[in-house]
Amino acid sequence: MSTEEQGYFTEENSAEVVVSRNANAQNARLAEVIGILTRHLHAAVKEIEPTQEEWMQAILFLTETGHMCNDWRQEFILLSDVLGVSMLVDAINNRKPTGASESTVLGPFHVEDAPELPMGSNICLDQKGEPMLVKGRILSTGGHPIDQAKIDVWQANDEGFYDVQQKGIQPDFNLRGVFRTGPDGSYHFKGVKPKYYPIPADGPVGKMLESLGRHPYRPAHLHYILEADDFEPLITHIFDPDDPYIHSDAVFGVKESLLARFEWVEDVTRIAENGMDGPYYEVVHDFVLVPKGT
């Protein structure tokens, strides 16, 4: 028998027999990944001891997950999100030095071609919702302001929907914008206070959450992609710490360092100083980027 022929399959040696069959793999990384997956999968099956019916239920669940996918709906990513795997892969690939802003999931609602707007613009195009001013600085881990940092921001509206989910109801590019910092690294823009919302729950992943007694909600947040020459890009959010779902995000995206205070401001001097028309929520949050090669 050659190395890839390790005898007949038994319940006891199942994983080793299957893994050894890959001994002549041309792609060493693929063989490593499939080997690890095979061992863990066989261990799980041995622990679960599924009935034939249960195994078929699992196959049908994955089949339905695949059928749910199209150009704008990726049910497998959603499955990875609710199992915490997206956040785990994000954590492994974005280990940061102390003081750097932390990353979180991208999510499915980013669009590539949002308009670049003058600093201070209002990204809310339909005047719906409670006014919000977001401001802060983009800094390096050394504490220096970053000039020409690109800030790509997007958020759900006051009812918890992104523009792309409500075509014809919300204006195109509502609550999205791209801003560029100047030499002082500061940014500010207007929006509306976001609201919690459910992840798309009308497919097999939603059904699975329901069967597990889990809700599909994400706490209110603003999404950011930050990019600057010579710095590692950062994909992240800031979250409302007072949101009812802040401790139970359906996709595990919340981190302590990403909590930002949404302060209700009624003081007329501050309203005037900040160019707002009346009471508003103020959110102040600095982001710290890591120089490339650190």
> Which of these ranges, 37-45, 87-95, 104-112, 137-145, lies near ligand BEZ under the rule CB under 6 A?
104-112
The conformational region for residue 7 under phi > 0 = left, psi -120 to 50 = alpha, else beta, is: left
Chain centroid to Cα 15, Å, comes to 34
Residues 87, 90, 107, 151: which binds ligand BEZ (CB under 6 A)?
A: 107
Q: Which residue is nearest to Fe ion (CB)?
A: 107
With CB under 6 A, what is the number of residues at the site for ligand BEZ? 9
For residue 177, the SS3 value is: strand
> Which of these ranges, 33-41, 46-54, 103-111, 175-183, lies near ligand BEZ under the rule CB under 6 A?
103-111
Chain centroid to Cα 207, Å, comes to 21
Q: Interhelix angle for 52-67 vs 75-82, to 10°?
A: 120
Residue type, 51: T
Residues 105, 114, 134, 153: which binds ligand BEZ (CB under 6 A)?
A: 105
Residue 78 beta carbon to ligand BEZ: minimum distance, rounded to whole angstroms = 6
Please say which residue, 196 or 231, places its beta carbon nearer to ligand BEZ. 196
Residue 288 beta carbon to Fe ion: minimum distance, rounded to whole angstroms = 22
For residue 236, the SS3 value is: strand
Applying CB under 6 A, does 120 fall inside the site for ligand BEZ? no
Chain centroid to Cα 31, Å, comes to 29
Give, as ranges, the residues between 208 and 227 that touch ligand BEZ (CB under 6 A): 218
Please give the structure tokens belonging to residue 179: 């801003």
For residue 259, the SS3 value is: strand
Residues 81, 90, 152, 243: which binds ligand BEZ (CB under 6 A)?
A: 81
Give, as ranges, the residues between 49 and 78 that touch ligand BEZ (CB under 6 A): 78
CA–CA separation, 132 and 277 (whole Å): 11
CA–CA separation, 61 and 186 (whole Å): 48
Residue 110 beta carbon to ligand BEZ: minimum distance, rounded to whole angstroms = 8
What letter does residue 193 receive in the DSSP assignment? -
Please say which residue, 110 or 270, places its beta carbon nearer to ligand BEZ. 110
Give, as ranges, the residues between 248 and 287 that touch ligand BEZ (CB under 6 A): 251
Residue 153 beta carbon to ligand BEZ: minimum distance, rounded to whole angstroms = 13
